[in-house]
A and B are shown apart, each in its own frame.
Chain A
Amino acid sequence: MKKVLVIEDNEVNMYLMSTIIKKLGYIVIEARDGYTGVDLAIAERPDLILMDIQLPIMDGYMATKKIRAIEEMKDIPIIAITSYAMIGDREKILTTGCTAYIEKPIEPKSFIEELKKYL
């Protein structure tokens, strides 16, 4: 079974995403901050990471960099979850090392389509 690491500090969003992912038949690993996210990425070796950018302790950019710095995880797909307020930051997100981005609010239909691209 494929594992998806979801790094998101908002409980409701976390619940929505994990509900959708579990329904699709994958294992969900949850992290509430960037620091824990990096730890769990190293420990669990997920098949896909969903990364919120605005996170406590360590933000999404830093967490992405840390994960990419590990040789075994340099090719793991990381999908950034961005808010509408971050329009100007999309380039930055992609150059940091994210594979793609999904804009909030999450539309279940397009969210599922995006997930299926990488799993």
Chain B
Amino acid sequence: SSLFAIPYLPRYASTYSLPALHVASAIFILAMQAVVLASSPLAFLIFWELMSIAAYFLVIADREPASIKAGLIYLVMAHAGFSCILAGFLVLAHGNPLMDFTLLAQSITNLSPAMLTTAFFLFLIGFGSKAGLMPLHQWLPLAHPQAPSNSSALMSGVMLKVAVYGFLRVTLDVFPHIDTNWAIVVIVISLLSAMLGVLMAAIETDVKRVLAWSSIENLGLIFFMIGIGFVFKNLGLPSIPFFVAALLHSLNHAIFKSGLFLAAGAIISERHTRDIDEMGGLANSWPLFSLAFLGLVFGAAALPPFGTFYGEWLTFQHLATTLSSVPLGIAFLLILSLSILALVSGLAIFTFVKTFADIFLGRSRTESNSKPKPLPQSMVLIILSTTILSLIIGVFVSPIASVLAHIFSPFNHAIQLYAPLSLTTETIQPLFVVSIFILIAFVGYETHQSLLRKRRIKITETWDCGQPINAHMEYTATGFAAPIRFFFRSILMSQKHMLTERITPQNPWILRRKLEWDTTSRLEEHLYTPLGNLVLIIAAKIKRLQNGIIQFYILLILITLVLILGFAI
């Protein structure tokens, strides 16, 4: 991603203050690495905060009003999350944040269940808000698209994974035991996030927001895999496939989402808009780039032979195989999860087909656009390399999965390079899948060439029913997603306003019509606005303390001191 910045950022030298951006990026990357390396809660928290602050400066980098608003929302959410994590650690460690993770794990065995439950949910809120889980997801589709594309790639690709890491680290290393009820809460929240994320991604037309919503969906899937893993662990069933699937999916998501954000950046810098409705026809000008993008789309839609497929396959297969060996109640939960996952994966395909088709296929929907200039080689190569990396994970998924499984049970997993993937009782041979695709490409290319040689291809206009058609008659992304908006209208609650205006005031029949969409989630209205008002009201009440009498302030300090002493003793 940093490599991508070299050809990419100079195009925006006037929008961003480049030195500041570089500093913020460097601190951001450093802090993310430090969080993962931290061995004590204190270091973890410090670098976590550093990461959040650096990300804030990336979000507001272009100093647009929209970015500053998004940055503010992000900052509030990040700090709410941070204080939850801090509180979680303090609850676990009896207020002593200086011990390291192993000591912490030993010391909490004598905590009461109520304390553990509180701590777990504090962590869930903290890490969940960073990972964009429902209902604390609102900042993500606002903040990620506002950052420069290479920073969005880092934020979606890596920062969300840091949240996954934090959650796994705490739940696996520190907590002695994860209650099944807690895990079920995680499952419900994550399935809701996946479903809402993919639905919003399906109807969204801003390319970077599509990617941001899709991140919510994927993080939902990852947290689902973790949650169901804990349920299986408690039932005494093999849980490793789920944890491996979660890690595999995190890895894949980091790669394909970074690639997609970078590609989106390249497209936006050419088209000067983020609206998919105004794009189209790029595949002819940038064939190699579109091929790379199609590969990433396969990754994002979890289709073979790319790596993402195997993570989802492990989950589906393991859920399905264990159905008949669990109690009926749990089986019902598994079936419901399986159906929701199926719908989510179907809609994910929908989302990315829409994105690819409306950006690359057909002809450009705004006719003023001249033929796009060829992209710099280095940009294409970097995006192609993410596609290839995603494919390599798909081909060598079995050794990677064995290594990941090794983390959870350090025995019994020989690492073989070409073995079929077999963590459950079912196996799948990645090489078989890949060879099918190579065969298709080869046969297709040969037949195409032979048809060309026989001069049996004639290039014409699109069939137009007898009157000329133009690019405005093409289906846009908004039109493409219309059936989804209709079928899920009770969930999405999007609002359509038909604005009519008389062209001549006397004649009521000749009207100018305009459609307006409002697809913002109702959740914002019903949850965030009252919450914000509540905070404002409380703040106004507290403000009365600030009355300017110095004796009163001294009294407050005294009361605080007495209270602290009282707690300490």
A binds B: no
Interfacial residues, chain B to chain A (CB-CB below 8 A):
none
